[in-house]
Structure 1
Amino acid sequence: MNRLSYFILISLIVLITTASKLEFAAVFTRHGDRTPIKNFPDDGTEWFCQENELQVPSQNLDTSVSTTRLYRKMYLPNRNVLPGNCTYGQLTTIGAKQHQELGKYFHSRYIEQYKILPEVLDRDTFWIRSTNYYRTLQSAEFFLYGLYPLESRSDQEIINIHTMDKEHENMHYNPSGCPKLSVVRSEIYKSKLYLDWTTSISPFLDKLKKIFNINDFDEHNLYNIYSNMEARKCHKKQIPDGLTEEIWQELIVQAGNYANLVFGNHTLNSLAIGTYIQELVDLFDSKISGELKHNFHLYSAHDSGIILVLSALHCFDNLPPEYASNLQFELFNINDSHYIQLLYNHKPLVIPGCGETLCPYEAFKQIALKAVLPDPHKSCQI
């Protein structure tokens, strides 16, 4: 680092600590640890889940509720697809604790350090959105439990977690909402860049084919295998004997390369995440103009969403996001000028085109909007 760069860095640190104010934060998370999406390979491994959502029926939209009677959904033995008492992709006790710990971290950052949230829960200061999956909805609930423990709540308030039908969801790769995505993905599979990659990893695919005893194994199985083994390793479940640490690390790398080739493609990326990026920019604009009263937004989603957002900003590191990974978009006011700080798993990132971790808001906006299509609805039609 030359003397000028060092001086600029020190100046920014001084600004952050002496003349800055955090005005708003948007946190985008991946759900916590969950059971496999597919039991692959199907070897009879049992999975047991203790996290069951308790529900109370309500006939009105009051802000509080009496819990005189609760209802719990229970899976019938031997009537589910996974051995044990879980279903595919269900949040586990480990996943619940991961998000509770994540909530505790942001309690320290946004309630104690920056004080953009009050010590006692106030629904008017934050907003929550989740994809319409059991594991992401529950992850948001446990996050809030860590952010605001029971002793920090004024009463039994009803917390709204906003969601969408899959035809409208824009926080992950979703061909149901954008049919053109399937067409573009097929075109990516035929591209020279993609075909050259598949040729280069052919020996590695042959190794995996033998390890998992799958004759029709190809590169499309990479991420599914990685995802399944990720869950098994998290729970110390049995893994195939041939899956050495060296091969596991290579599997992580190649699963990340697959994700980058697909989700990092500019056309697919814009179709998949562009409308969410637009919503994020509109959110910051509203906060800067004084129209938005919330100080914090939580978005509970999936690893594909994190990859898409990072790729849209050219910050994806080609490694699959771990459970409970998170992106922090923080809006700072420094001497009446606004800046965005992006953190990935609490580490500041330099968005290409910004030069420093604190990105002038207009520069960030210009970079982000490159991922937004002029007419997303029309572009998504086949």
Structure 2
Amino acid sequence: MSFNPEALHQKPAAKKNERVNPERLIISVDEYLTPNDGFHYAVGHSIKNPAERVKVRLTTVDERIKDLPRVDADKITKQYRTGDNTRESIADKQKNGIKLIAFDDSIKISAENGVTEYRAHWPTTMSTDPNSEVIFGTAHIRLRESENGSGQAYVEMVKGISVGTAENIDSVLQSALAIKDDQSRARDPFAAIRIIYKDNIVSTTRLYPATEKHAVFDNDMGRNKEINIPVDSDKTIGKLLSGESTGNDFSNKQADTIRAVVAALKGLDLPNFNTDYAANAANIYHGVKGGHLKIEVISFEKLDFGPDSRKTYLKDKEFRPQLKAYDIVSSAEGGKENYHVAGYDQTVVAFQRHPDGEPYVVYASSEAMWPKPAALKDITLEAMAEHIVEVSAEQSFDSSVIDDELNNDEPAL
């Protein structure tokens, strides 16, 4: 065999990974099979794909060691059998009457007679209430500790997106900002208005329901106190178009931007503005009216965690990669300082309801085992939107003076 100098620089071919990619399988359990002489199974259907019948058993120690050959075998054994916080068994789930389970690291084994069999690393109870509701969608899981110990724990769930037009802007905003759902149950809404120039998002601005002060009796203090109550969407839109000041420079600036957008779409005169942002808002007005700028309205619902789940999720965030990933760390210009951006990804949420119908979250996680959330401004939802209706230009529009100051669509974490 002759010497080949080129072979000195060649790397061995990488071995093909034959392992099936694991997934997070969300199921509603119809029955449990717990024989004395074989594997225990949770049998039911996929929540996301109800037609998919599934049966799931737990991965064995040997299978997990084979899945993760670089992980210490004793660590896996402790997770499954001997540690302080071992996983619950299928029999445990059956004993507790659990109906909703998220099976992490689920691997498909076979599919026969219309039933797909999986084995899973870890079974997480999503809710102990069989009447809990489960939703999927693009969302941000906000988990942030605060100095006073209260913390922030909620989910921002995208409920829909529309391209703003002269014909639909009123109905789209009314729907997005509705404080009650179609069954008259309380909801906590807000809208994000994205301004797009030549397929690039140049600004994203949020609009929350306006509030009014109401007097309520404080049982602890023994006297009335004033609290802010959100108003219905008609009142919010009325306050916005009236130019009423919010009393806050930043929210006034956002209101100026949205007022300019709505007025331009509706064919109204240039509105009055409350801040020194007036020139930029006027430019946006002319850009929209002239058909240079495209408008997307994204509707959200804010879902607070329940009190028990709130404590658990705030505590566990740093130890659960699928939660920590929603906090995107970015570097400021020059790399001298980091800042945090809210990440959005495909998310599954289980929630229960208070007696008045208001929802509260008991489970939230990414759908993917290894999520890659993106900033809202980087997520394209064009497939969900209608084509924008162009309007004729009446005044000039200068794209060079679009102000980036409002391009902060995600709250800093």
Query: What interval of TM-score do these two structures reach, taking the shorter chain for normalisation?
Result: under 0.3
TM-score in terms of structure 2 length = 0.25
Higher helix share: 1
TM-score in terms of structure 1 length = 0.26
Higher strand share: 2
- Greater relative contact order structure (CA < 8 Å, 6+ sep): 1
